[in-house]
Amino acid sequence: MNIGIVGLGLMGGSFAKAVKKYGIADKIYGYARSPKTAEQIKELNLVDELMSLEDLKSKSDMIILAIPVDSILEMMDDLIGISKDTTILDMGSTKEIIVKNIPNEIRSNFVAAHPMTGTEKFGPTASIDGLYEGKAVVLCNLEDNDELHKERTINIFQEIGMRIIFMDSHEHDIHACYMSHLPHAISYSLANTVMNHEDPKSIIALAAGGFKDMSRVAKSSPDMWTDIFRQNRNNLLESIDLFEVHLNKVRDMVEKESYEELKTWMKKANTLHEIL
C-alpha cells in the first residue's frame, strides 16, 4: 500500500515514522505547500518522495490529511474525482463540521478520525517516534463508509498500536471539548494572566511543576487552535460557562473562608484520577 500524507507536522510526520517502523507502506509520499517546510521534510527523511497534490492523489492508496481543520474543509473539493478505491483519512480535532461538509462524491471513502494524542509542538521537527502507540483513536460515522475503507483504516491504526473508539461526530465534539479544547482555552488564559501582570518575569522565575504543566499547551499553534475553537464554538462556549461556575465557586468559598467546604470540593476533584 502506498500512503500519501498532506501535512507533515507533528501528527503527519509522526504517522510517517510509525508506518515506516511497522513496515506498513510500500511507499510514503508527501505534499507540502511551503518550500521551507519541504526542505525540513527532506532533511528529516520523513517520506520517500515529495510531490504535487495531483500526483499524490493518483499514486496513493490512502491519503492522510494531517492539516488544520479549516484547511481540511478547503481541500475537500480538490479530492472530488479521486478513485473509489483510495481511502481519504482526516486527523482533525473537530469532527461534526468536517463530516457534514464531505462532498457526496467522496463520502464513502472519506474516513473521519481523531487520534487522541499530540504535544504542544508543531511543524516537521515536532515529529516523534511512538506518538500513536498505546493511544486511542476515535472513528466517526463509519456507517457512511465502504467496507474497504473501514477495514483499511481500522487495520492501519491497530498496526501502529492504537485503540479504536467508534463515536458519532456530534458526541465526539462534545467530549473532545472537555478533554482537549477547554483545557487549551484555560492554558492560554493562564499564560495571558501571567503575561498581563505588572511583573511577569518575576512570576515566571518561580515557575515550578504546576505552572509548567498547566501552561505547557499554551505553546500550541495559534493558527491551528483558532480553527478548532471556531469549528467547535458552541461546545466550547458551553464548557467555558460550566468552568466559570466552578471557578466562581472557588472564589466564593475562599472569600467566605469556607475552607472545610473547599477541602471537600477538592477531594471530589481528586476522584477524577480514579477514572483516568
Could you give the CA distance from residue 83 to residue 244 in angstroms, rounded to a whole number? 49
User: Residue 77 — pLDDT band, cuts 50, 70, 90?
Assistant: very high
Is the separation of the CB atoms in 115 and 140 below 8 Å? no
Q: How many CB atoms lie within 10 A of CB 72?
A: 26
Average pLDDT over residues 145-151: 97
**pLDDT at residue 201 greater than cutoff 80:** no
Is the separation of the CB atoms in 99 and 112 below 8 Å? yes
Task: Please tell me the predicted confidence (pLDDT) of residue 213.
Answer: 75
Higher pLDDT, residue 276 or 199: 199
Task: Please tell me the predicted confidence (pLDDT) of residue 23.
Answer: 95
Range with lowest mean pLDDT among 18-22, 52-56, 209-213, 219-223: 209-213
User: Residue 217 — pLDDT band, cuts 50, 70, 90?
Assistant: confident
Range with lowest mean pLDDT among 85-99, 164-178, 180-194, 241-255: 180-194
Task: Please tell me the predicted confidence (pLDDT) of residue 140.
Answer: 98
User: Residue 216 — pLDDT band, cuts 50, 70, 90?
Assistant: confident
Please give the mean pLDDT across all residues of the chain. Answer: 93
List of long-range contacts for 220-228, beta carbons under 8 Å, 24+ apart: 220/120, 220/122, 220/184, 221/68, 221/122, 223/68, 224/68, 224/69, 224/122, 225/184, 225/188, 227/68, 227/69, 227/70, 227/71, 228/69, 228/93, 228/94, 228/181, 228/184
In a 13 Å sphere around the CA of 79, the CA atoms on its Cβ side amount to 30
Task: Please tell me the predicted confidence (pLDDT) of residue 200.
Answer: 63
Local structure of residue 134 (DSSP, 8 states): T
Question: CATH class for domain 172-275?
Answer: mainly alpha
Task: Please tell me the predicted confidence (pLDDT) of residue 65.
Answer: 98
Task: Please tell me the predicted confidence (pLDDT) of residue 196.
Answer: 80
Average pLDDT over residues 129-155: 97
pTM: 0.87
Task: Please tell me the predicted confidence (pLDDT) of residue 208.
Answer: 59
Local structure of residue 45 (DSSP, 8 states): T
Local structure of residue 110 (DSSP, 8 states): E
Range(s) within the chain of domains with CATH label 3.40.50.720: 2-167
CA angle 28, 125, 224 (to 5 degrees): 90
**pLDDT at residue 136 greater than cutoff 80:** yes
Answer left, alpha or beta for residue 78, where phi above 0 means left and psi between -120 and 50 means alpha.
alpha
Task: Please tell me the predicted confidence (pLDDT) of residue 212.
Answer: 75
Task: Please tell me the predicted confidence (pLDDT) of residue 197.
Answer: 73
Task: Please tell me the predicted confidence (pLDDT) of residue 248.
Answer: 96
User: Residue 211 — pLDDT band, cuts 50, 70, 90?
Assistant: confident
Dmax of the chain from CA atoms? Answer: 67
Task: Please tell me the predicted confidence (pLDDT) of residue 209.
Answer: 62
Task: Please tell me the predicted confidence (pLDDT) of residue 214.
Answer: 76
**pLDDT at residue 35 greater than cutoff 80:** yes
**pLDDT at residue 207 greater than cutoff 70:** no
Task: Please tell me the predicted confidence (pLDDT) of residue 220.
Answer: 87
Range(s) within the chain of domains with CATH label 1.10.3660.10: 172-275
Could you give the CA distance from residue 61 to residue 120 in angstroms, rounded to a whole number? 30
At the second CATH level, the architecture of 2-167 is 3-Layer(aba) Sandwich (3.40)
